[in-house]
Structure 1
Amino acid sequence: MSFFKKLFNSPKEKEPEEASLDLQNLPLDQIFVKNFIKNNGKFLYCTTLEEVTLNLSNIIQENSWDTVSCNDIDLLKLIKSIKVKTTDKLSNLFPIFLSCEHLIAENGSILFSSNQLKENKISELAENFIVYATTSQLVKSKGESLTGIKTRYKGNIPSNISAVKSYNPNSEDNDFMNYGNTNSKNLYLLLFEDL
């Protein structure tokens, strides 16, 4: 638990250059978590599947959701013990519970593909996402994540590869490189320790 103490008890603001040098010396999971939280993501660390189910239940109750979209057979097994209706159709009507391809440490983003999203664009889906991921899905950079997809799926590379890196749908991004990117989501990450 000293990791969480380090994460939430920062004694003073460091200079940007000094802070970036500190980030380079951290383990990959800590870099991801710092960047993810900096981008307004909500993070729940889980060491057992029971914890995953309990946290999922708490998220659903906290937000008073009565229906959740989920099209993943394995994730449906986790959600079936919770008193909530499910639909396998992803849309903008209900919060979405899904997995991802990778967690990218360099900017705290989460990479998805057609394996999770099917033919849907992230911008057309609901504002609320609950993402189940494992620590083995952590990668250092975008390039590493794309190489991982290429290696994992060999000749059958999924389409619709896109990422969410802003977790506040109401924020305004003035960076011209992100102009028109409406992939911001209110996102909860259930990170399961599998290493």
Structure 2
Amino acid sequence: MKENTTSKERLLKKIRKALLERRDNPYPNLEDLPLYPPATELPEVIFAEQFTAVAGQFVFCEDELQFIEILLNLAEEREWRKIYCWEPALQEIFKKYDYPFFETDKDFDKAEVGFTLCEALIARNGSILVSNANEAGRRLGIYPNVHVVVAYTSQLMMDLKDGFKLIKTKYGHNMPSLISTITGPSRTADIEKTLVLGAHGPKELFVFLLDG
């Protein structure tokens, strides 16, 4: 007598049978296989290309002095006045060169630019790996119209997995409760399929990469 079962029931029966049968992994070394061809450019070049491709603005600086010089010209050109920075390491640089900034959240609703550090830069997709473990939290990277990230070449990783390894080495068992990536300025195309920058966050995103 022919078995009267639906195709769905037959499929589920096969799945149950497969789950009951223990089998060796046919691809034990799958995770070790490279996902991408070997990089032919330096990570700095790859990151800059990918980051600018998503409307990010990239600046390479040889040292802190060049960083301040470029920042002075940029701030004058853009007429930045309300610049906020809550990262102690960045505050030390600004104070060293007498660069004016707000180190408290006074009049934060008028903030024009927020300066933050990051956990790593991911060259492969031009992304910034961030966490809530720094002093800036999330506000300085979301509220002001301009978000400026300061990073060092030692934080430049090729892939996300390398970035996560860097974070794990840094924090050990005290991992941040929030780890995320930023890829370009905030954007949306939900309204009539028109791309709008600054929809839910900064309209402009800068990365200053310092050698060191």
Q: Where does residue 49 of structure 2 map in the other structure? A: 34
Q: Where does residue 68 of structure 1 map in the other structure? A: 83
Specify the SS of the correspondent of 1:86.
coil
Q: Where does residue 172 of structure 1 map in the other structure? A: 189
Contact 2:85 2:136 in 1 (8 A): no
Contact 2:121 2:127 in 1 (8 A): yes
Q: Select which of 87, 106, 111 maps to 2:124.
A: 106
What RMSD over aligned residues (CA atoms) do the two structures have, in Å?
Answer: 2.9
Q: CA deviation at 1:182?
A: 4.2
Structure 1 stretches of 5 or more lacking a match? 1-19, 175-180
How has the CA–CA distance of structure 1 residues 83 and 150 changed in structure 2, closer, same or farther, with 3 Å as cutoff? closer
Specify the SS of the correspondent of 2:133.
helix
How has the CA–CA distance of structure 1 residues 116 and 84 changed in structure 2, closer, same or farther, with 3 Å as cutoff? same
For residues 96 and 73 of structure 1, what CA distance do their matches in structure 2 show? 14
Q: Where does residue 104 of structure 2 map in the other structure? A: 88
For residues 49 and 117 of structure 1, what CA distance do their matches in structure 2 show? 20
Specify the SS of the correspondent of 2:174.
coil
Q: CA deviation at 1:170?
A: 5.2
Specify the SS of the correspondent of 1:89.
coil
- In percent, how many aligned pairs have the same letter? 26
Q: Where does residue 128 of structure 1 map in the other structure? A: 146
Q: Where does residue 59 of structure 2 map in the other structure? A: 44
Q: Which amino acid in 1 is paired with 2:119?
A: E
For residues 192 and 123 of structure 1, what CA distance do their matches in structure 2 show? 19
For residues 75 and 128 of structure 2, what CA distance do their matches in structure 1 show? 21
Q: Which stretch of the first structure deviates more once superposed, 127-136 or 158-167?
A: 158-167
Contact 1:101 1:113 in 2 (8 A): yes
For residues 157 and 171 of structure 1, what CA distance do their matches in structure 2 show? 31
How has the CA–CA distance of structure 1 residues 161 and 92 changed in structure 2, closer, same or farther, with 3 Å as cutoff? farther
Structure 1 stretches of 4+ moved >6 Å: none
For residues 118 and 159 of structure 1, what CA distance do their matches in structure 2 show? 15
Contact 1:166 1:183 in 2 (8 A): no
Q: CA deviation at 1:124?
A: 4.3
Structure 2 stretches of 5 or more lacking a match? 1-35, 192-198
Q: CA deviation at 1:173?
A: 7.5
Compute the TM-score of the two structures, normalised by the length of structure 2: 0.68
Compute the TM-score of the two structures, normalised by the length of structure 1: 0.73
Aligned length: 168
Contact 1:43 1:189 in 2 (8 A): yes
Q: Select which of 48, 56, 64 maps to 2:71.
A: 56
Q: Which stretch of the first structure deviates more once superposed, 36-45 or 83-92?
A: 83-92
Contact 2:129 2:180 in 1 (8 A): yes
